[in-house]
Chains A and B, each alone.
Chain A
Amino acid sequence: MLARWQFGITTVYHFFFVPLTIGLSALIAILQTMWLRTGDERHLRSVKFFGKLFLINFALGVATGIVQEFQFGMDWSAYSRFVGDIFGAPLAIEGLLAFFLESTFLGLWIFGWGRLPERIHLACIWLVSIGTMLSAYFILAANAWMQHPVGYRIDQATNRAILTDFFAVLTNSTAVIAFFHTLTLAFLYAGMLLVGVSAWHMARGRFTDVLRPSLRLGLWASIVATAGLLVTGDIDAKIMTSQQPMKMAAAEALYTTSKPASFSLFTIGSLNGGKEVFSVRVPGVLSFLATGSFSGKVDGINDVQALEASQYGPGSYKPVIPVTYWSFRLMIGFGLLAGLIALLGLWWTRRGRIPERRWFWRVCTWSIALPILASSFGWIFTEMGRQPWAVYGVLTTRQGVSLVSAGEVLTSLIVLTALYGVLAVVEVGLMLKYAKAGPPEIEPPSAPSDGTEPRLSFAY
């Protein structure tokens, strides 16, 4: 139980930083490309400005990433033994292909200003961006295998899962769709950060000229991303319905199989299978989400439970329904709200307009939180919705934990949570400080007159 809490806390926390790293590196690469193409100094200032925010965020993403890799062995050693043949490979490949790429070229990008030729320096940030995306792909392939195991067999003698088809693991439909869903989410994250930070300055009439391109880039990225999230989310829902019927039923707290099935915006009372007190329902929508037809049949929790009990033996195969129900709604709700705000923003800033509505800028600034909330609830939904399974239909979470003492896990849970809490405060403080400082002036390259070497253009 403690190990679950630890994994949940560290993973959700880690994922605060990851999408911003993925999305922001790409948007910064785009801004820097725009600068090299046009020579417009506003873009360079934006690159340096958002570059700083990116680095503050990246530090925590990396630091918490190490925990992610270590805790499989520390807390989930039985799981690691069982699935290591399959699960370890994407992790190792992620390190070799992605982590080296992003960390090495990020070092080159940070310290390479004025020292590398401009085009090579630009290539560095693009390589960082590619590295972050590769990283996402491999770790999601590993996660997708837990949601929908493919390309393996169970070795009876050792009772371990053995890899039989690595290509199948990498091309797992769950992995591919989760990758695109996460990638589009990353752009919503980063887009809303650009929007929110720019809006903060717009509301005060500062840097309006410099930040306008970033604002528009952020708005466009957010809208395209929201559209992408809807499409990939929709495909994901259908894949999920066929691969993990329990999760779809749990998303709606649908106890009895229905055809067509309605989607409730919210419900009071019936989440534990009891009598419904009050709910607002849209007919047929759950059928559409799950099957693509408004009249499709969606299996209810009770039927899936009966089916799984006959397949895997007696026991409860239900996740915690109120958690899955609400996290599913909050994910969609916060995501849609972000997209809606971006759409409004794009309309009001069309053709060079800068609206006077201060309340709108304030909303934009607070909207930075929306994608963070949406994605956190998304992960809570997909991981909690898989329970009691660690690997769906193969290994339960209970079977996966280490034989370490509760005291040890409790120690690490407390230490890591406290440390993460402190670091979150520091990170947010720094982000605010730098975001409020605004884009820096660009100093003309200081050509030293006395023939000595120029100073470093960047230093810690």
Chain B
Amino acid sequence: MSLNEFWFVIIAVLWCGYFVLEGFDFGVGILLPVLARDDTERRVLINTVGPVWDGNEVWLLVAGGATFAAFPMWYATLFSGFYLPLLLILVALIIRAVAFEYRGKRPEAAWRRRWDWCITAGSAVPALLWGVAFGNIVRGVPIDAHQHYTGGFFKLLNPYALLGGLTTLSVFTLHGAVFLALKTTGDIRDRARALAGRLVVIAIVVAGSFLAWTEIHHGKAAGATLALIAAAGLVAALVANLRGREGWAFLGTAVAIVAATTTLFVTLYPNVMPSTTSAAYSLTIHNASSSHYTLQIMSVVAVIFTPLVLLYQGWTYWVFRKRIGVTDIPADAAPTSVGGAA
């Protein structure tokens, strides 16, 4: 495997990690107004992802940084080309991050309602737009000889990419519901499970059609196999959820997300951004990459530190492995009730 291929794989792995991890905390955010009935229940939902959502988001930052370092032309064309969707994602992620931290800082219901809305919108918008972005990358966009995107904003809103957006939205929402069933106790757990049972059907239909469309138009044997694995993951989640095996259901949705993301990257290879203007203008793992020397250095750093990161992030999930319920939530920590914890 050449270094260019190695870095293509690394970036695929980073996106898989990002979607699996942030996927469920997006889902939790989206389900906040649906599943929770009062403020304490909303706090249960938020606290299931409280200790980990920030670490999950770093996967995106590292994916972005790795793309910049290993494939600067890809980074430049993608980020300047998809300008407005990325701006929307940025705004969404900003208000979501701030909302997690600030909602509990005042006791007023109006204050909390506003931030809850920010959490939900801030989760739903990126969950939708990442799918739109990836749909466009796989489908190909107009790119000229100077590697500039020439399509404008509305070119990005084509049916295939929009279906991709619905796929990530529905699958992440399902992933969040399954996660909540796994991480909560009592009434919320039952409701999350029931909801997951319905969401999984939607996800199978939407994701199934998106992956089928992908295979019909851009198909490769390896991609088709992976797409089938993704479908199998969703079906497994359906079965496990019916039987009340929440851990297995979560594994099922996680496998589905990894397999579906990998399908897209396999479909792309060896391009990173195919051009619909002329195949000769497509960005590939070769013409978009950094120099061999830079890739070497980055490889050494990645090989040493990635296992370390996985180790301590894994440990975090172990530390916070317990389910939580309404009885675990302490009294309000906002200053009116002096004395709450840090």
Does A149 interact with chain B (Cβ within 8 Å)? no
Does B312 interact with chain A (Cβ within 8 Å)? yes
Complex contact A80–B338 (CB within 8 A): no
Selected from B98, B153, B316, the residue in CB contact (under 8 A) with A59 is B98
On chain B, the residues within 8 Å of A47 by CB distance are 342
Quick one: CB contact mask for B115-154 with A, threshold 8 Å, 1 for yes? 0000000000000000000000000000000011000010
Known: A73-B80, A88-B75, A104-B313. A459 touches B68 (CB 8 A): no
Complex contact B339–A453 (CB within 8 A): no
Does B50 interact with chain A (Cβ within 8 Å)? yes
Quick one: CB contact mask for B44-74 with A, threshold 8 Å, 1 for yes? 0011001110110110111011111110110
Centre residue among A96, A100, A416, A426 by max chain B CB count within 10 A: A96
Known: A104-B312, A163-B291. A84 touches B69 (CB 8 A): yes
Does A106 interact with chain B (Cβ within 8 Å)? yes
On chain A, the residues within 8 Å of B302 by CB distance are 96
On chain B, the residues within 8 Å of A116 by CB distance are 319
Within 8 A of A (CB), among B325-342: 327-330, 333, 335, 338-342
How far apart sit A423 and B93, CA to CA, in the bound complex (Å)?
13
Complex contact B301–A96 (CB within 8 A): yes
Does B306 interact with chain A (Cβ within 8 Å)? yes
Q: Which of A248-256, A331-339, A430-438 is the contact stretch?
A: A430-438
On chain B, the residues within 8 Å of A95 by CB distance are 58, 61-62, 64-66
Complex contact A66–B330 (CB within 8 A): no
Does A404 interact with chain B (Cβ within 8 Å)? yes
Selected from B47, B87, B95, B306, the residue in CB contact (under 8 A) with A459 is B47
On chain A, the residues within 8 Å of B51 by CB distance are 107-108, 110-112
On chain A, the residues within 8 Å of B316 by CB distance are 104, 107-108
On chain A, the residues within 8 Å of B77 by CB distance are 77
Centre residue among B68, B87, B309, B339 by max chain A CB count within 10 A: B68
Complex contact B72–A62 (CB within 8 A): no
Quick one: CB contact mask for A53-89 with B, threshold 8 Å, 1 for yes? 0011011101111110110111101101101111111
Does B33 interact with chain A (Cβ within 8 Å)? no
Closest to B296 in A: A166
How far apart sit A272 and B89, CA to CA, in the bound complex (Å)?
43
Does A293 interact with chain B (Cβ within 8 Å)? no
Closest to B152 in A: A405
On chain B, the residues within 8 Å of A52 by CB distance are 342
Centre residue among A64, A412, A443 by max chain B CB count within 10 A: A412
Question: Closest Cβ of chain B: how far from A110's Cβ, in Å?
Answer: 7
Quick one: CB contact mask for A165-199 with B, threshold 8 Å, 1 for yes? 01000000000000000000000000000000000
Centre residue among A58, A73, A85, A402 by max chain B CB count within 10 A: A73
Known: A74-B87, A110-B342, A404-B80. A88 touches B297 (CB 8 A): no
Complex contact A91–B330 (CB within 8 A): no
On chain B, the residues within 8 Å of A105 by CB distance are 312
Closest to A403 in B: B148
- Secondary structure type dominating chain A contacts: helix
How far apart sit A373 and B268, CA to CA, in the bound complex (Å)?
48
Complex contact A460–B50 (CB within 8 A): yes
Quick one: CB contact mask for B74-102 with A, threshold 8 Å, 1 for yes? 01111110011011001101110110111
Question: Closest Cβ of chain B: how far from A99's Cβ, in Å?
Answer: 5
How far apart sit A105 and B293, CA to CA, in the bound complex (Å)?
32
Complex contact A85–B330 (CB within 8 A): no
How far apart sit A204 and B72, CA to CA, in the bound complex (Å)?
56
Complex contact A443–B54 (CB within 8 A): no
Complex contact A459–B50 (CB within 8 A): yes
Within 8 A of B (CB), among A223-245: none
How far apart sit A438 and B72, CA to CA, in the bound complex (Å)?
48
How far apart sit A93 and B320, CA to CA, in the bound complex (Å)?
27
On chain B, the residues within 8 Å of A441 by CB distance are 338-339
On chain A, the residues within 8 Å of B333 by CB distance are 458-459
Closest to B75 in A: A73
Selected from A69, A77, A162, the residue in CB contact (under 8 A) with B64 is A69
Question: Closest Cβ of chain A: how far from B283's Cβ, in Å?
Answer: 11
Does A103 interact with chain B (Cβ within 8 Å)? yes
Does A115 interact with chain B (Cβ within 8 Å)? yes
Quick one: CB contact mask for A135-172 with B, threshold 8 Å, 1 for yes? 00000000000000000000000000011101000000
Question: Closest Cβ of chain B: how far from A220's Cβ, in Å?
Answer: 24
Does B324 interact with chain A (Cβ within 8 Å)? yes
Does B278 interact with chain A (Cβ within 8 Å)? no
Does A455 interact with chain B (Cβ within 8 Å)? yes
Does B191 interact with chain A (Cβ within 8 Å)? no
How far apart sit A40 and B158, CA to CA, in the bound complex (Å)?
63
On chain A, the residues within 8 Å of B328 by CB distance are 453, 455-456, 459
On chain B, the residues within 8 Å of A59 by CB distance are 97-98, 100-102
Quick one: CB contact mask for B303-317 with A, threshold 8 Å, 1 for yes? 001100100110010
Question: Closest Cβ of chain B: how far from A86's Cβ, in Å?
Answer: 7
On chain B, the residues within 8 Å of A458 by CB distance are 330, 333, 341-342
What are 20 pairs between A and B in contact, CB < 8 Å? A63-B95, A74-B86, A77-B80, A84-B69, A84-B75, A92-B68, A94-B65, A95-B65, A97-B301, A163-B291, A163-B293, A403-B148, A404-B80, A411-B87, A423-B98, A434-B105, A453-B328, A455-B329, A456-B328, A460-B104
Name B residues whose Cβ lies closer than 8 Å to a Cβ of A.
43, 46-47, 50-52, 54-55, 57-58, 60-62, 64-70, 72-73, 75-80, 83-84, 86-87, 90-91, 93-95, 97-98, 100-106, 147-148, 153, 290-291, 293-294, 297-298, 301-302, 305-306, 309, 312-313, 316, 319-320, 322, 324, 327-330, 333, 335, 338-342
